A = this chain, B = another copy of it.
Amino acid sequence: MKKLINNPDHVVSEMLKGIEKAHPELVYHEGYEVISRRCKKANKVGLVSGGGSGHEPAHAGYVGTGMLDAAVSGNVFASPSPDRIVKGIEEADSGAGVLLIIKNYSGDIMNFEMSKDIAEMQGIKVDCVVVKDDVAVEDSTYSAGRRGIAGTVFVHKIAGAKAEAGGTLAEVKAVAEKTIQNIRSMGMAMSPCILPGVGKPGFTLGEDEVEIGMGIHGEPGVFHTTVKSASEFAQILVDKILADYDYENSEVAVMMNGLGSTPLMELYIMYGEVEAILKSKNIRVYRSFVGNFMTALEMSGCSVSLLKLDEELKQLLDSEANTPGLKVR
């Protein structure tokens, strides 16, 4: 195993220390594995997300102006415990309530909901939304119902913009829910990732084998196939999304997300293919995002996310965001 780490048991805390050092506008709360903004904005709805580590820049990289107020990290691919999440809620609270943005994994649901109850007993108003954008499978290894994957970043962006603009907790939750309803994602993996401390891949794929619909923790997808062209893969991913939700004749935001080790060259080639398919369906791309937004360590592969837009969502998508992982201006 070749990894640029010191000790597999300390990768999360050392990463978060590095994030704090590299981005002085963020604060690391050691022991809680929480990253929050250094300057709180009084009476703004606080946004908290998080989950297992290994998906960087998600979620600590999305803390900052126009997106999250705090991100809570678990160990690699493991849900953060309630004491950590409660700390994240406390840090995000500035008097107007806190919205939790949870990816749909059983551990995250359980721990975030328990934390919501604890924080409410402390007098903080807390609500939550659950992202389940992955159309690959209906239930999975770690989820009842669909998994939450890269489309979650759209929820951070849109809800973050609404909160920054002074929306109430109910308003921020409502726009987050609308966003979630309008997102569908579909991914594929070409090679596995290796967990620090484990030293061997979590799964194997043959020399010519690709898994369509694999999850961001290596959970099984829909089917194995052989290596195909970018054009064919784009068709498979987009077809699955379009079969699930009606995007025709609409405007969308597209996220062409890399899982960690797919060269940007390949993501742009895939983006070109995706855009061409959408165009043929009279779906207009309003804004696109190409890069590594929600990874699985050094897994190779990609996911496509579509967000159907209306005027409100367009305006919120375009408003300023200034975080390590996403900058919009």
Contacts and interface: CB of A to CB of B under 8 A. Distances in A.
Interface in A1-21: 1-7, 11, 14-19, 21
Contacts of A256: 22
A262 to B, nearest CB: 6
Contacts of A271: 18, 21-22
A56 B267 CA distance: 11
Given A6-B231, A275-B21, A327-B327, A300 B261 contact: yes
B329 A233 contact: no
Q: Which of A7, A271, A285 has the most CB of B within 10 A?
A: A271
A297 interface: yes
A290 B18 contact: yes
A136 interface: no
Contacts of A272: 14-15, 17-18, 21
A23 B327 CA distance: 14
Contacts of A208: 2
A188 to B, nearest CB: 9
Contacts of A110: none
A3 B266 contact: yes
A144 interface: no
A265 interface: yes
Contacts of A22: 256, 268, 271, 275, 288, 290
A5 B264 CA distance: 11
Interface string A290-328: 101001011010100000000000000000001010010
A87 to B, nearest CB: 20
A300 B302 contact: no
A17 to B, nearest CB: 5
Nearest to A231: B6
Contact of A53 (B231, B265, B298, B327): B265
6 tightest Cβ-Cβ pairs between the two chains A and B: A261-B261, A18-B268, A18-B272, A56-B264, A4-B266, A327-B327
Given A22-B256, A263-B298, 5 more contacts: A5-B266, A11-B269, A61-B264, A260-B261, A264-B292
